[in-house]
């Protein structure tokens, strides 16, 4: 097979031709030859919908109402924030072209070594999302135990943490094709459950329970919260799930199917959660405690059981992405080995989270950390992609040696590092969080307005364009010569 980068790197000889469901996927971050790409854009719909019709998003809607918004304000923020899933569709377009995962593609903008720093941030973020899901699983298990008449203590919680961590590792251990198939199967039963929940909820919802609502500064904080937990929080994973599509796959189809599978379910479920919060007092430490009062008792057990299965489903995607991110960090381990490592670490972090502060506080602080690095990184990644005419030299992305096209200075592309640092600083200066309010936020008076989700990307994109624009355009020309089988130095 002729490589799209002129054959600079040989394809691994011991990798099977296809990823097969219910067998351990052997591929990690290595290049997937076009002949082995089996997925279609609509497969992304089933994958993302299976992960998006789930309990976490219901909780996000509940937590959003704790900001003090009226139901109408929550509706507006939910609709606006979930438009960010259009960006997830755009951040799924590079995988079919490059045939690899996000933080291998990221070597084009940051260099092989520079990209490892960003991969580390992503790995920590994925562990955070895994922990969030596992905490909710444990809360669900505790709620079921209480329903059965047993008042759980620390031993049961420890057992639940260990068992949940083990169960959630099964799908990502097996790999991409298994995750796609199982999540697609789960869409229908998940939808059916939430239709019943909606019927039980709408008759009791009180849209006028909050009369005055929040000021515009708080609205900005709510928007940042929603965007970070919607499309922005998934941007660094999109290409991990689109890389099995051929480069000829419809770009409109990819963006459209991803958006339908994510924005629509999350919008509906966040609004349903907000509706529940209008007539139920929410416990910020354990959201599950509040739900027995939200609907009839007969529905409680099936709801909690399905909610727990759903949390396992979405955590499988987090765990899969964190596994390939560990490989991108440079660890010499197989993808499925990385899943086992992350399972153990996630178990330990979950134990801390379960026995520590309130869930809503931890979630809010985590959102701030996600915005601080993902928002500027996403702008750099996208600007770089546009500068190089939305193309890469795929096999050059696999190279981490001095002779690679993306090597630059010691394996680091310093303009990207500078842009990332300045973009992160710009985000932090615009924070308005419980633990810190930056000068940009304070400048708007009142409680301050959180602009962090906007300042970071703007600063990072402008800095990268100024520092790297000319150089990346030259690399784009070299890429084209490589793709045509010529000498990139000419």
Q: Is residue 187 part of a domain?
A: yes
Helices (H) and strands (E) in the chain, counts: 20, 0
Q: Identify which of 160, 182, 159 has the alpha carbon closest to the alpha carbon of residue 172.
A: 182
- Rounded alpha-carbon distances, angstroms, from residue 90 to 54, 309, 469, 479: 23, 29, 21, 21
- Domain total in the chain: 1
Helix (H/G/I), strand (E/B), else coil: 221: helix
Determine the average pLDDT of the residues in 455-481. Answer: 95
Distance separating alpha carbons of residues 54 and 61, to the nearest angstrom: 12
Distance separating alpha carbons of residues 430 and 423, to the nearest angstrom: 11
Q: Residue 330: what pLDDT?
A: 87
Phi then psi dihedrals of residue 461, to 5 deg: -65, -45
The two three-digit tokens of residue 314, written as one number? 């979405």
Q: Which residue has the tokens 């309010």?
A: 437
- Rounded alpha-carbon distances, angstroms, from residue 441 to 289, 434, 453, 463: 34, 12, 12, 22
Q: Is residue 40 part of a domain?
A: yes
For 312-325, what is each residue's pLDDT tens digit? 877 888 888 988 99
Q: Which of 12-16, 168-172, 215-219, 416-420 has the lowest mean pLDDT?
A: 12-16
Q: Is residue 383 part of a domain?
A: no
Q: Is residue 242 part of a domain?
A: yes
Q: Is residue 350 part of a domain?
A: yes
Determine the average pLDDT of the residues in 385-414. Answer: 94
Q: Residue 50: what pLDDT?
A: 87
Phi then psi dihedrals of residue 489, to 5 deg: -85, -10
Q: Residue 5: what pLDDT?
A: 37
Higher pLDDT, 49 or 310: 49
Q: Answer for the pair 236, 102: CB distance below 8 angstroms, yes or no.
A: yes
Q: Answer for the pair 101, 240: CB distance below 8 angstroms, yes or no.
A: yes
CATH number at 229 reads 1.10.4160.10
Q: Is residue 94 part of a domain?
A: yes
How deeply is 427 buried, as exposed, middle or buried, from its count of CB atoms within 10 A (0-12, 13-18, 19+)?
buried
pTM: 0.86
The answer for residues whose C-beta is within 8 angstroms of residue 210's C-beta and 6 or more apart is 65, 68, 69, 70, 71, 278
With 80 as the cut, is the pLDDT of residue 147 above it?
A: no
Higher pLDDT, 207 or 446: 207
Q: Answer for the pair 84, 258: CB distance below 8 angstroms, yes or no.
A: no
Partners of 437 in the beta sheet? 432
For 176-194, what is each residue's pLDDT tens digit? 888 888 888 888 888 888 8
Q: Is residue 82 part of a domain?
A: yes
Q: Where are the alpha helices (DSSP H) in 291-358?
A: 300-328, 335-354
Neighbours of 156 (CB within 10 A): 15
Q: Is residue 333 part of a domain?
A: yes
For 84-137, what is each residue's pLDDT tens digit? 999 999 999 999 999 999 999 999 999 999 999 999 999 988 888 888 788 878
Q: Which of 87-96, 283-292, 376-385 has the lowest mean pLDDT?
A: 283-292
Q: Residue 3: what pLDDT?
A: 36
Q: Residue 301: what pLDDT?
A: 81
With 70 as the cut, is the pLDDT of residue 2 above it?
A: no
Neighbours of 181 (CB within 10 A): 18
Domain range for residue 62?
34-361
With 60 as the cut, is the pLDDT of residue 198 above it?
A: yes
With 80 as the cut, is the pLDDT of residue 483 above it?
A: no
Q: Answer for the pair 138, 350: CB distance below 8 angstroms, yes or no.
A: yes
With 70 as the cut, is the pLDDT of residue 12 above it?
A: no
């Amino acid at each position: 097979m002729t490589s799209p980068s002129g054959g600079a790197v040989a394809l691994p000889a011991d990798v099977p031709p296809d990823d097969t469901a219910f067998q351990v996927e052997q591929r990690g971050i290595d290049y997937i030859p076009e002949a082995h790409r089996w997925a279609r854009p609509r497969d992304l719909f089933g994958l993302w919908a299976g992960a998006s019709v789930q309990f976490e998003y219901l909780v996000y809607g509940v937590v959003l109402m704790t900001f003090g918004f009226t139901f109408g304000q929550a509706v507006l923020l939910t609709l606006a924030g979930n438009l960010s899933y259009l960006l997830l569709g755009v951040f799924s377009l590079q995988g079919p072209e490059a045939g690899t995962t996000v933080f291998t593609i990221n070597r084009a903008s940051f260099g092989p070594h520079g990209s490892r720093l960003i991969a580390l941030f992503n790995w920590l973020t994925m562990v955070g999302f895994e922990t969030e899901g596992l905490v909710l699983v444990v809360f669900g298990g505790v709620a079921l135990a209480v329903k059965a008449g047993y008042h759980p203590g620390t031993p049961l919680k420890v057992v639940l943490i260990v068992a949940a961590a083990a169960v959630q590792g099964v799908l990502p251990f097996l790999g991409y094709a298994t995750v796609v198939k199982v999540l697609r199967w789960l869409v229908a039963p998940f939808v059916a459950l939430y239709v019943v929940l909606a019927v039980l909820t709408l008759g009791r919802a009180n849209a006028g329970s909050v009369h005055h609502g929040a000021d515009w500064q708080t609205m900005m904080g709510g928007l940042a919260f929603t965007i970070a937990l919607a499309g922005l929080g998934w941007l660094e994973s999109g290409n991990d799930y689109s890389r099995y599509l051929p480069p000829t796959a419809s770009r409109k189809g990819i963006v459209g199917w991803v958006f339908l599978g994510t924005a629509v379910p999350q919008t509906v479920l966040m609004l349903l959660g907000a509706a529940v919060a209008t007539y139920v007092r929410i416990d910020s430490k354990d959201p599950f405690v509040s739900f027995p009062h939200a609907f009839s008792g007969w529905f409680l057990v099936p709801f909690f059981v399905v909610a727990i299965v759903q949390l396992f489903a979405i955590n499988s995607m987090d765990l899969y992405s964190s596994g390939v991110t560990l490989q991108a960090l440079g660890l010499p381990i197989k993808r499925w080995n990385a899943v086992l490592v992350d399972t153990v670490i996630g178990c330990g972090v979950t134990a801390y989270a379960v026995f520590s502060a309130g869930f809503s506080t931890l979630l809010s602080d985590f959102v701030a950390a996600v915005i601080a690095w993902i928002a500027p990184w996403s702008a750099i990644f996208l600007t770089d992609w546009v500068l190089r005419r939305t193309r890469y030299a795929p096999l050059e992305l696999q190279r981490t040696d001095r002779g690679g096209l993306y090597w630059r200075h010691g394996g680091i592309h310093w303009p990207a590092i500078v842009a990332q640092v300045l973009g992160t600083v710009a985000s932090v200066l615009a924070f308005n969080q419980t633990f810190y309010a930056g000068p940009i936020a304070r400048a708007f008076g009142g409680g301050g307005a959180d602009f962090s989700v906007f300042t970071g990307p703007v600063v990072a994109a402008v800095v990268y364009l100024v520092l790297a624009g000319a150089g990346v355009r030259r690399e784009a020309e070299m890429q084209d010569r490589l793709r045509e089988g010529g000498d990139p130095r000419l």
